[in-house]
Amino acid sequence: MNINEIRGLIKGEVSDDKLDLFKYSHDASIFEIKPQLIVFPKDADDIKRLVRYIGERKQSDPSLSLTARAGGSDMSGGPLNDSLVLDFTKHINAVSEFHDQTVVVEPGVFYRDLEKIMDPAGLIFPSYPASKGLCALGGMLANNSGGEKSLSYGKTEDYVEELSVILSDGNEYQFRELDKTGLDKKMAQQNFEGEVYRKVFQLIEGDYDAIKAAKPNVTKNSAGYYLWNVWDRTKFNMVKLLVGSQGTLGLITKAKLKLVKPKTHSELLVMFLKDLKPLADIVTTLRPYHAETFESFDDHTMGLAVRFLPDMIKKMKGNIFKLGLQFLPELWMLLTGGLPKLILIAEFTGDSEEEVLNNLAKAQKEVKEKFHIKTHVTKSPQETQKYWTIRRESFNLLRQHSSGLNTAPFIDDIIVHPADLPDFLPKLNKIFAKYPHLIYTIAGHAGDANFHIIPLMDLKKEDQRQIIPALSDEVYDLVLQYKGSITGEHNDGLIRTPYLEKMYGPKITSLFKQVKEIFDPQNIFNPRKKVGTDMKYALDHIKRN
């Protein structure tokens, strides 16, 4: 590929620097794929030129493609590719039209920067993930991200009103919810956009019942293309298909998002479990009390937080001495071997302090009486912040302090329906009992029955790498017995695309392939994600160091 030709094509920058190529060969996943060039497009016109450039040369060089990248915190290999990687964070990062609880953002906006604008207005974009200090909005849109607030507020897909997207013909189009009249007008257009609408409508209408039946029985899902959400025979919304598509159908240039005003009062109930046996029943017991968030992390995560206390205090920000004192109970537990197996944190919110304390007291009383476990209500904002920081920073702590081992997220996002937890968890524990030497942490969204299991592995060793498909098969078979999902919020990427047929069957995955062909007949956008990859390709691209 001629770098000077690309440079002459666009206003932004192009790099083939070795350090840049190394950086963009990785995300937070287990994979390594070296791109040919890194492109920093200046604006939407640059992206249009790149799409047309690749489209004109695709037949003579099928390896050419474009992959969008935002914050690089993806855990699935989603933004990795061996052709052109487009970094949106350098230039395409504007926030505009901030009013009436809506905001228009470009995909390169980091969530932390949007948060600085939302905070003074008392607003949040509630689907933020634990990596909110690292991620950007483009990745949240691409993965259909969720997080600690999703139990009450839902996922990214619930807050996207409009999208501007450059499709494979090199033109930019706007997508929003349409009624039947609006849909008919779109389908009547004699251009590429009209063709996309006609074909997607025909595909969904032609297998309507099978598509609706394929929706996983979970509170949140990021696997596959969400065909079941597009058309209810009254409203047609292509946004529901583009969100979560991991940049495989087009390149997002703008998004209009809904924001929410959070409750004004909150209190945190912390529960300490000596073993995992009562977890499922505790989740079931607390559900009627409508905790806004219900999170979990295990003893390995807590141990990391105490061992690397300076890092945690730095993340929390504030008086070092006072923050350090917050960790004295955990330090004592670590020294005396008394760390609980799992820590649950449930946040109760409301519009009055009385409402919050009333719900919390009832929940705490029932949990203590039923399960005889230690509970604690945090007594200060600093103490509350401590627990949230441990939960949100668990994966980063593991990555940064893994002592020569790799964090290996490959079964990192399983989810079942909360009602199935009492049956599901004991069977999951039996699977892990077959791997007694495997070190792993468990964190996640207990209220949604969505768990992030991250093993530590030496990926240089072949026998360690072979655990990945073997354990994935066992865990996913169990998840699918309960009509769960292999990914609640992290999406498919390279690590889970090979399992989509196991999850959905050949009929639905054939529809996924047709969707890709409708939007991207030349396979310009982010190949091998959602469709078109197998486990051999994934295993061949696991990083070795």
Task: Give the per-residue pLDDT at 309.
Answer: 65
DSSP 7-58: HHH-SSEEE--HHHHHHTT--SSSB----SEEEE--SHHHHHHHHHHHHHHT
Q: What is the mean pLDDT of residues 429-453?
A: 92
Decide if pLDDT at 312 tops 70. Answer: no
Task: Outline where DSSP puts E strands in 77-203.
Answer: 84-87, 95-99, 102-105, 160-166, 172-179
**pLDDT confidence band for 441 (50 / 70 / 90):** confident
Task: Give the per-residue pLDDT at 323.
Answer: 58
Lowest mean pLDDT among 52-56, 239-243, 254-258, 422-426: 422-426
Task: Give the per-residue pLDDT at 332.
Answer: 60
Written as one letter, the residue type at 454 is I
DSSP 164-181: EEE-TTS-EEEEEEEEHH
| 3-state SS, residue 407 | strand
| 3-state SS, residue 378 | coil
For residues 74 and 28, what is the distance between their CA atoms, to the nearest angstrom? Answer: 5
For the chain, domains (ranges, CATH) are: 3-87 (3.30.43.10), 95-258 (3.30.465.10), 267-481 (3.40.462.10)
Decide if pLDDT at 86 tops 80. Answer: yes
CB burial readout 500-534, b (16+ within 10 A) else e? bebbbeeebbebbebbbebbbebbbbbbbbbbebe
pTM summary value: 0.93
For the chain, give the mean pLDDT.
93
Task: Give the per-residue pLDDT at 173.
Answer: 98
Per the CB < 8 A criterion, the answer to whether 122 and 259 are in contact is: no
DSSP 329-345: HHHHHHHTT---SEEEE
**pLDDT confidence band for 147 (50 / 70 / 90):** very high
**pLDDT confidence band for 321 (50 / 70 / 90):** low
Task: Give the per-residue pLDDT at 320.
Answer: 56
Decide if pLDDT at 313 tops 60. Answer: yes
pLDDT tens digits, 268-296: 999 999 888 899 899 999 989 989 999 99
Per the CB < 8 A criterion, the answer to whether 229 and 214 are in contact is: no
Q: What is the mean pLDDT of residues 169-190?
A: 98
Lowest mean pLDDT among 109-113, 393-397, 541-545: 393-397
